Structure 1
Amino acid sequence: MTISSGSSPELIYALRRVSESAALAAFDWIGRGDGMDGGRAALDAMLSALAEVDIDAVVVIGEAGKGEAPQPARGERLGRPGSAFKADIAMDPVEGTSYLARGQTNALAVLAVAPRGTMMNPAPAFYMEKFVAPAPARGKIDPHWTTGRKLRVLAEVLNKDVSQLTIYVLEKPRHRELIDDIIRAGARVALYPAGDVAGALLAAIPGSGIDALMGTGGTPEGVMSACAVRGLGGEFLARIDPQLHTEAKAVRESGLSTSRWYARDELIASDDVFFCATGITTGLMVDGVERTRTHYKVQTMMVIGATGERQIITSYLPRERTGQSQSAARDVA
């Protein structure tokens, strides 16, 4: 059955089914040591569900890097071509593939949608440096400042002392100096091995316990996060930051600057954005998939840019209606 949504706020509920389908498909691959099979299953489920949504979407972010879970191809038409709502889409069926493989927290199924032509295409960059903070920081932080100065100004606009700030950083060797700088400035560091979509959203949500995200992570995750952060009214600054020689060469040849910082509204040039993130494994933001003999429990964060709303919805889906009820050998009580 076709889900007719147009570009109205009701579209978010149709898109929620898409990210839920990916999370359900990935569930059986949690903790099985290889996220590739789970990624393929999640991608197939996401594409199949999206085909039922009344949206004509073009993939802006695609072409997974080596060792990453499968992604749709850049430029691919998804949904129902010819639908009235022409859109750009970025999606990650399994954000946090390593988390999925090891059965760790924070694995998500994520997608973001914006009107056609409003989502930046940063190809062929796989990595970008990011600064994300809540709405009071909008326009107050110069990305060229030192880490210490950024944190002092951030603390001021949030009406906090620097010692009360908690900064989300991916636990990667490239961030050793950044981590030292944050600690030297007097703030706390919250280190996670992956999951900068969750980190960016938490940074944009007042009272989440995370005051900012800093450091370099994936470009696809950055573009998807920028959609959500724009919808939430937060600050998002980004700079292309290649991590491999081949990537750096491709970025130079494409004409992209590695010194320029892009503002949030350059990355996503419309407020009419939609974002969904469904938990695969339980994390900081949403709960992961849970299964009983009769139902799946899934939880999704949704952001609607046109209204500025965010919702976390918990759904209980009958197993016989999900097409995922045949794994009897893996049932739980």
Structure 2
Amino acid sequence: MSEKIDRNLSLELIRATEAAALSTALVMGRGEIKSISQGAAQAMQTALRAVDVEGRIVIGEGQEGEAAYLYTGQAVGTGTGPKMDVAVRAIDGARLLAHGAPHAISIIALSEQDSLFKLPPGLRYMYKIVVGPEAKGAISLDKPADWNLANIAKAKHIDVREVTAAVLDRPRNQQLVREIRQAGARLHLISDGDIHAAMMAALPETGVDVLMGIGGANEAIVTACLLKCLDGEMVCRLYPHNIATRQDALAQGLTLNEIYGVNDLVKSDNVFVSITGVTDGERLEGVRYSEGNVHTHSIVMRSKSGTMRDVRARHRLDKLMRYSEIDFAGANNLTGAGVATR
């Protein structure tokens, strides 16, 4: 049955991720992680005021009282329009941006109300495996790394030695790193930003075939929104990072053996995602400056239609700053003396 063309909210969300990127790009390499995170969240929250949705933050920058902006449970949008769950990472890879390293992005996802998984209190990590459409059905958390890598290689018609696995470089992933090396696969250790790495694993010809290992649980839900749009697959399991967290989880009736897929974390088939590059990456260019202009590169996507758009924008800051309440020039994040606003 045909339907009337409705709003593609991802095209409206792009202004929020662009705002987060533009408000923080000038502090690249200055080491100011806290100001980057707060400045990006403030800019994104301000931009979301213009989006005609009745949104509620499900995955945010922290709990109320911990985060000043975009905290879990906060209402966003104009308050009119569809009721939506909202998942944000104003900057995924704040440390990357602070160090001037590649792959920092800004991302936001909207899904229909009550469709996003609500994490049990205190559980901050998940073990996850992420692949693109070619390797759907080829991964399992109940199998060792070498089995998964061999299956991915078979699904992609390549040798296991040609499979590249991205893993977050943390002590908790050291055993996995050893297993990947023993399996003969290529290894790409990342310091931060596993949402970006998951996107790379889900897209074709990026040089990354799979994301594996223990990373953020909030990031897993944002990743699930992304994979809904890209037709990728993820399997994940909650990972208690200490004894107290494990005991709390068991007291909540969890066995910690539950395996969650994309459809468990995002129950809606109508998901909207916008991603803007902040620092350069293989798939997204970071914010770039030229005389009088700032350039951004974004990807917007919708799961219902399967449409993905690359959006390259040129921004005239002299005009934007005349009327916008968003600090596009990043002046609020600049702590060094003598730094002028464009």
Would you say same fold, with TM above 0.5?
A: yes
Q: Distance in 1 between matches of 2:204 and 2:56?
A: 32
Offset of 1:293 from its aligned partner?
A: 3.5
Q: How many residues align structurally?
A: 323
Q: Deviations over 1:236-283 (max 9, x none)?
A: 111111224454454444444422110111111122111111111112
Q: Deviations over 1:202-238 (max 9, x none)?
A: 1111222111100011112111111111111111111
> Are 1:102 and 2:94 an aligned pair?
no
Structure 1 residues 253 and 232, CA gap change in structure 2 (3 angstroms):
same
Q: Is the 8 A contact 1:69 1:97 kept in 2?
A: no
Equivalent in the alignment of 1:132: 130
Q: Is the 8 A contact 1:90 1:224 kept in 2?
A: yes
Q: Secondary structure at the match of 1:278?
A: strand
Percent identical among aligned pairs is 29
Q: Distance in 2 between matches of 1:330 and 1:247?
A: 47
- Where do 1:160-239 residues align within 5 Å? 160-239=158-237
Equivalent in the alignment of 2:303: 305
TM-score for both structures, normalised by structure 1: 0.90
Q: Secondary structure at the match of 1:148?
A: helix
Q: Distance in 2 between matches of 1:23 and 1:268?
A: 26
Offset of 1:31 from its aligned partner?
A: 1.6
Offset of 1:62 from its aligned partner?
A: 3.0
Q: Secondary structure at the match of 1:18?
A: helix
Q: Distance in 1 between matches of 2:93 and 2:318?
A: 28
Q: Distance in 1 between matches of 2:58 and 2:271?
A: 14
> Are 1:53 and 2:78 an aligned pair?
no
- Where do 1:6-155 residues align within 5 Å? 8-62=6-60, 64=62, 72-81=70-79, 83-124=80-121, 125-155=123-153
Equivalent in the alignment of 2:262: 264
Q: Distance in 2 between matches of 1:256 and 1:59?
A: 24
Q: Is the 8 A contact 1:9 1:304 kept in 2?
A: no
Structure 1 residues 160 and 248, CA gap change in structure 2 (3 angstroms):
same
Please, which moves more after superposition, 137-146 or 150-159?
Answer: 137-146
Q: Distance in 2 between matches of 1:223 and 1:278?
A: 18
Stretches of structure 2 that go unaligned for 5 or more consecutive residues are 322-327, 332-337
Q: Secondary structure at the match of 2:20?
A: helix
Offset of 1:9 from its aligned partner?
A: 4.8
Structure 1 residues 212 and 292, CA gap change in structure 2 (3 angstroms):
same
TM-score for both structures, normalised by structure 2: 0.88
Offset of 1:73 from its aligned partner?
A: 2.0
Q: Quick one: which amino acid aligns to residue 20 of structure 1?
A: E
Q: Distance in 2 between matches of 1:72 and 1:245?
A: 30
Q: Distance in 2 between matches of 1:242 and 1:30?
A: 33
Q: Distance in 2 between matches of 1:159 and 1:172?
A: 30
Structure 1 residues 171 and 325, CA gap change in structure 2 (3 angstroms):
closer
Equivalent in the alignment of 2:316: 318
Q: Is the 8 A contact 1:130 1:238 kept in 2?
A: yes
Q: Distance in 1 between matches of 2:72 and 2:120?
A: 9
Q: Secondary structure at the match of 1:36?
A: helix
Stretches of structure 1 that go unaligned for 5 or more consecutive residues are 1-6
Q: Secondary structure at the match of 1:311?
A: strand
Equivalent in the alignment of 1:242: 240
